[in-house]
Structure 1
Amino acid sequence: MSHRNARLTVHGRRILVERVRAGRPVAHVAAEMGISRPTAHKWVRRWRAEGEVGLVDRSSRPRTTPHRTPARVEERVCRLRSDRKLGPARIGPILGLPASTVHRILVRHGLNRLAHLDRPTGRRIRRYERDRPGELVHVDIKKLGNIPHGGGWRVVGRTAGDRNRQATTTERRSSSPVIGYSYIHSAVDDHSRLAYSEILSDERKETAAGFWKRANAFFAAHGITVERVLTDNGACYKSKLFTRTLATAGIAHKKIRPYRPQTNGKVERFNRTLLDEWAYQRPYTSNNERTQALAEFLHTYNHHRSHTALAGQPPISRVNNPAGQYT
């Protein structure tokens, strides 16, 4: 992967090659593109030898690693981790290895986090991912308390917060003002993690069905044809209206097993990101201010924010299918 300050991306290398193919001197093209002559000659030479594939980044991993820990030792490290759940600081003295070496071995084999292991058996928990965008979309709802005009008590203090609540609404329950809730409906594509969210006033079946129509249009605008939708067993999703809305568009509806929210984990994890990086990211003085900030967050999440499950790339990188990624 090119670093963020790289002069040449794959697209830039194609431009370089096209200009050289047109008969331009390599030195002139290098000067125009702000790169050195050796760099320009390197990419032209790779293109001539390998074609289009030669313009793609190569792995920086060495061909041989003579000082790597022997495989039998790595196997013992993995066995101690899986069977006894020991960490690097305890495995190291047992095998006579530095803790840092043990940690690198565990990372290499995907055993560095105990959360990734099934505690009773010591086996790695299998993480699934669909093969292409649209094959499965996760849908869920997150409920958030509304913000009174002027800010809540966490921002302005209890006295001013109570005063803002009294001024914001005339609805009362046991003499206390009722601010109510907002419902964030979200849809996340399983393969690309492309996300779409709306802040709505309730979680009724008509609201959920209307949200899905707009979410489906959003995915379609990005070239994604949704095949299957996964939801929990909320009343709005169990309704005939929601299922019929999906069926009309030729989409299958799947519901998770009761009390197993992990099955819908991708949108559940997105909900947590929503809270950390949007809802609670900074103090808001009104519901409108928080609502307006959602669009900016979604654009950043989909187009710019690096995603650990996508090798540090944003979700849009998988939607645009660079270099035939999921053909």
Structure 2
Amino acid sequence: MPWKEVKPMDEKILFIADHLRGGRTFVDLCRSYGISRKIGYKWIGRYREGGIEALNDRLRRPNRSPQTTPYSVRKEIIAIRTRGRMKPGPKKIQTLLRSQHPEWGIPSKTTIYNIIRREGLVPKRKLRRNVPDSVKPFGPVQGPNDLWSADFKGQFLTGDGAWCFPLTIMDHASRYLLDCRALPGTRTQAAQAAFERAFKEYGLPLRIRTDNGVPFASHSVRGISHLSRWWIRLGILPERIEKGKPQQNGNHERMHRTLKAAALRPPARTSARQQEVFDEVRREYNEERPHEALHQKTPASSYRPSPRCMPDKLPELEYPGHCRVVTVSSHGILYCFGRLVYVGHVLTGERVGLEETNDGIWNAYFGPILLGHVDLREEKKNRHGYQKLKV
């Protein structure tokens, strides 16, 4: 025989019936129902005032709430949240309210969050486990153009079925989104053209941080690709994060999340229209959206162009006078000291500096990048008659 489920209202009615029936002390009666004497007296008092109906649970909401956010403020909060493509969060909504309506009483960030959540304007996200911090062997960032970051946002299909690979370039210090270019692929020529436009408009940074994908890196010595070789010739030092650690470029990844929500849901009908959307989002991101890391300032107010201008002609790399300079042949080989040393086809035609560090040991540099060293004391060669750099 299954157990009967007793509802709270039924418990109250049974308690009142046993009390009216008598024969038990009030303390024993309350103990048998698992309630305190205070609760028992409250139920009896409500029954005497209004009968059985008075035993129903009462609303605890006060008749008047003087701290309730006014309707006009709630309406403006919802308008800011739904205006444009960026979908600002509570902190940024609070900052915008202060700047646009200084005479209002501005709600707290928690109140703003509750308002937009009740309106269904906060999408649910899967919780992720925090990744422990790791040591980042990168140079310091003191101001704009000390470091740019670049990456390809995940590819997607536009409405007409064409693939789009968005290339994003951002200044690390100011969070200024320098470019968001809809490219048909990750080929070096298209990416280099996008960087060339950025260099001509904003000048040259000191370093550029990327991942290890195409076209930023290759399987050549030190991972140098045709694109990063061009950067080095321009005096820009490439920085690459460790494999499988996108958190080392966390600022850029966070920008990608905002870009995806604002520009890719859903994708545009054509690549040309998608580029227009990217331009619109980039303007809003740089000029209107306050940034928490910038103390709620906009990236445009924190960025300034680099004083290093894009040269008209690609300069040659210079090396100290004590170095021996050798040009890489068409086969990616250095001819030096009567040896054939393979450095890779990526550096074909480039000038490499050789610096002696010990008897018979020479370090090979491409600009500031140490490629490896050559040990002239060894006679070991491969079957093709040349030796490789030791990294």
Q: Calculate the TM-score normalised by the size of structure 2.
A: 0.40
If asked which structure has higher relative contact order (CA below 8 Å, sep 6+), I would say 1
Q: Looking at secondary structure, tell me which structure has more strand per residue.
A: 2
